[in-house]
Amino acid sequence: MLEQPLNSKLDSTLRLESTVSTTPTISSINTAGQAKVAPRKKITTLTLRQKKQRGEPISMLTAYDYPMARALDQAGIDAILVGDSLGMVVLGYANTLPVTMEDMLHHCKAVARGAQSALLIGDMPFMSYQLSPWEAARNAGRFLQEAGMDAVKLEGGSERSEAVQAIVSAGIPVMGHLGLTPQSIHLLGGFRPQGRDAQAARRLLADALLLQDLGCFSIVLESVPARLAGWISEQLEIPTIGIGAGPRCDGQVLVTHDLLGLFDRLVPRFVRQYADLNFEMQRAFRAYRSEVEEGVFPAPEHTVEMPDEEWLAFQSELQEVAA
């Protein structure tokens, strides 16, 4: 656990930060009638711990490109995870295992250009941290140094203790991930809930406490029974972020493509769809195709014209060349 002097210093820092609001405020209305959000103070790992202390829920969503990151940031989302879930919802893989470091860095760079205030977390892909602590720290460093992330996330508990320790020792904030860990689906027997018996629950608690002791600033709990996730959250000083883990975690995360109804190949039962953009996209695409086939688009208002005199001059020049 953290020693008392460090805790005291951290608490005073958090009290100082608590005087600064991180909630976006509407400053004006633009000509399109859309609310413009005033700039927020940059969200940090300390901000998340501060919110846990005050009992304020933490919001986190995924993004993989510039426009999505910009939209999430303007909506006031606390943290943006560039998840290896991009392998499934963006790249079309059956799972997250084929995702590479280069894939992740490419998408992280785009997200970093789009979001200025949210805490940015890069998901370490399969085999980027499992082989050795040195390689784990080196790859984690690339997320910050090359891709503009503020922190990294990795899966696993005690079996990843050396990797977590090496990364934290290098000065890189680490978010843990326990419960259903998608990079271990072959060991788990698929996308299955975890921690449903007493022995598994004890392991989850032990791993959560260990990750906290190793210096993780937060832990994702995925597909864990709600009462267990809530109880673990109460035992920890660091915030938990739930996904399919009930309402008593300190925050919640969803894959944005699931939330928006953009990905219908696999929809977990814990997902709530706040929109059906796949339907809206199909409607728009069909309308476009129909207008193109019927000659309705492009209309005059979508067309660039040249002055009549210039057109006549052009035609005259062509006739002179032909003669």
119-129 pLDDT, tens per residue?
999 999 999 99
- Per-residue pLDDT band for 10 (boundaries 50, 70, 90) equals very low
132 lies in the same domain as 219: yes
Longest dimension (CA), the chain: 95
54 lies in the same domain as 201: yes
202 lies in the same domain as 301: no
Domain containing 312 equals 282-322
Residue 259: inside a domain, yes or no? yes
Q: Give the pLDDT confidence score for residue 4 in this predicted structure.
A: 38
In three-state secondary structure terms, 174 is strand
175 lies in the same domain as 70: yes
Tokens of 245: 């883990």
Residue 147: inside a domain, yes or no? yes
256 lies in the same domain as 307: no
In three-state secondary structure terms, 132 is coil
For residue 43, give the CATH number of its domain. 3.20.20.60
Q: What is the pLDDT of residues 104-121, one digit of tens each?
A: 999 999 999 999 999 999
Residue 114: inside a domain, yes or no? yes
Q: Give the pLDDT confidence score for residue 3 in this predicted structure.
A: 38
Neighbours of 312 (CB within 10 A): 10
Work out how many domains the chain is built from and give that number: 2
Q: Which stretches of the chain are assigned E, i.e. beta strand?
A: 26-29, 35-37, 58-62, 79-82, 119-123, 151-153, 174-179, 218-222, 240-243, 251-254
Q: Give the pLDDT confidence score for residue 63 in this predicted structure.
A: 98
In three-state secondary structure terms, 176 is strand
Residue 8: inside a domain, yes or no? no
Q: Give the pLDDT confidence score for residue 263 in this predicted structure.
A: 84
- Per-residue pLDDT band for 310 (boundaries 50, 70, 90) equals very high
Tokens of 250: 């300190």
301 lies in the same domain as 249: no
159 lies in the same domain as 302: no
Percentage of the chain surpassing pLDDT 90?
Answer: 79
251 lies in the same domain as 298: no
Residue of 178 and 9 predicted with greater confidence? 178
Q: Give the pLDDT confidence score for residue 37 in this predicted structure.
A: 59
Q: How far is CA 239 from CA 22, 65, 175, 208, in A?
A: 17, 26, 10, 11
Mean pLDDT of 156-173: 98
Q: Give the pLDDT confidence score for residue 27 in this predicted structure.
A: 47
137 lies in the same domain as 254: yes
Annotated catalytic residue, options 222, 237, 310, 317: 222
Q: What is the pLDDT of residues 182-216, one digit of tens each?
A: 898 888 777 788 889 999 999 999 999 999 999 99
74 lies in the same domain as 170: yes
182 lies in the same domain as 289: no
Q: Give the pLDDT confidence score for residue 32 in this predicted structure.
A: 52
- Per-residue pLDDT band for 322 (boundaries 50, 70, 90) equals confident
pTM of the complete model: 0.86
Q: Which residue has the tokens 């894939």?
A: 103
209 lies in the same domain as 156: yes
Cα–Cα distance measured from residue 31 to residue 40, given in angstroms and rounded to the nearest whole number: 22
Percentage of the chain surpassing pLDDT 70?
Answer: 88
In three-state secondary structure terms, 320 is helix
- Per-residue pLDDT band for 79 (boundaries 50, 70, 90) equals very high
Checking if the pLDDT of 140 tops 50, the result is: yes
Q: Is 222 a residue of the active site? A: yes
Residue 23: inside a domain, yes or no? no
Checking if the pLDDT of 35 tops 60, the result is: no
Residue 317: inside a domain, yes or no? yes
N residues, the chain: 323
Q: Which bin fits 130, alpha (ψ -120 to 50), beta or left (φ > 0)? A: alpha
Cα–Cα distance measured from residue 141 to residue 147, given in angstroms and rounded to the nearest whole number: 9
Q: Give the pLDDT confidence score for residue 23 in this predicted structure.
A: 41
Burial of residue 292 (number of CB atoms within 10 Å: 0-12, 13-18, 19+): exposed
Checking if the pLDDT of 89 tops 80, the result is: yes
Cα–Cα distance measured from residue 136 to residue 256, given in angstroms and rounded to the nearest whole number: 27
Checking if the pLDDT of 301 tops 50, the result is: yes
Mean pLDDT of 214-219: 98
Cα–Cα distance measured from residue 24 to residue 18, given in angstroms and rounded to the nearest whole number: 15
Cα–Cα distance measured from residue 155 to residue 84, given in angstroms and rounded to the nearest whole number: 11
Cα–Cα distance measured from residue 89 to residue 141, given in angstroms and rounded to the nearest whole number: 26
Checking if the pLDDT of 38 tops 80, the result is: no
Residue 19: inside a domain, yes or no? no
Tokens of 183: 């990079």
Tokens of 26: 């509407």
Cα–Cα distance measured from residue 165 to residue 130, given in angstroms and rounded to the nearest whole number: 13
The CB-side HSE value for 235 (13 A sphere, CA atoms) comes to 19
Mean pLDDT of 280-289: 97
Residue 14: inside a domain, yes or no? no
Mean pLDDT of 215-228: 97
Q: Give the pLDDT confidence score for residue 68 in this predicted structure.
A: 98
For the chain, what is the mean pLDDT? 89
